[in-house]
Amino acid sequence: MTCYHGLSQPAVRAIAAANPILADQAQTKLHYSVDHYIVDIAYAPPVTVESVRYWLGLFSHRRDGIWKGLLRVELDTPGNDAMAYAHLIPMKPVLP
């Protein structure tokens, strides 16, 4: 799930038009192996409140009642990305 804020509605429409895959669940699943949803947290306060309630309710437990959880990862953080990359490079699996 991607949460964002600070984009005007015309900008959002332009992004959606330029990247139709963002509105295509089947394609994001096929190409990126993710079930991807987007939340515009600055769109309207009632939507933000309802989104928090909805996604937290869904992701805090499995259907059989067992706890699961959410992991928050900031996007557009070049410094963090560089450190993560440096950390992961030595762990690169050696393919046979």
- Using CB under 8 A as the binding criterion, the count of chain residues that bind other proteins stands at 25
Shortest distance, position 26 Cβ to other proteins, whole Å:
8
Interface mask toward other proteins for 40-79; x: CB under 8 A: x--xx-xx--xx--x--xx----x----------------
The single residue among 5, 25, 30, 82 that binds other proteins, judged by CB under 8 A, is: 25
Shortest distance, position 68 Cβ to other proteins, whole Å:
15
Q: Which residues are within 8 A (CB) of 62 and not within 5 positions of it... i.e. 6 or more apart?
A: 68
DSSP the chain: -EEE----HHHHHHHHHH-GGGG-HHHHHHHH-----EEETTS-HHHHHHHHHHHHHHHHB-TTS-B-------SS-HHHHHHHHHHHGGGPPPP-
Residue number with CB closer to other proteins (13 or 31): 13
Q: Give the footprint of other proteins on this chain (CB under 8 A).
A: 12-13, 15-17, 22-26, 36-40, 43-44, 46-47, 50-51, 54, 57-58, 63
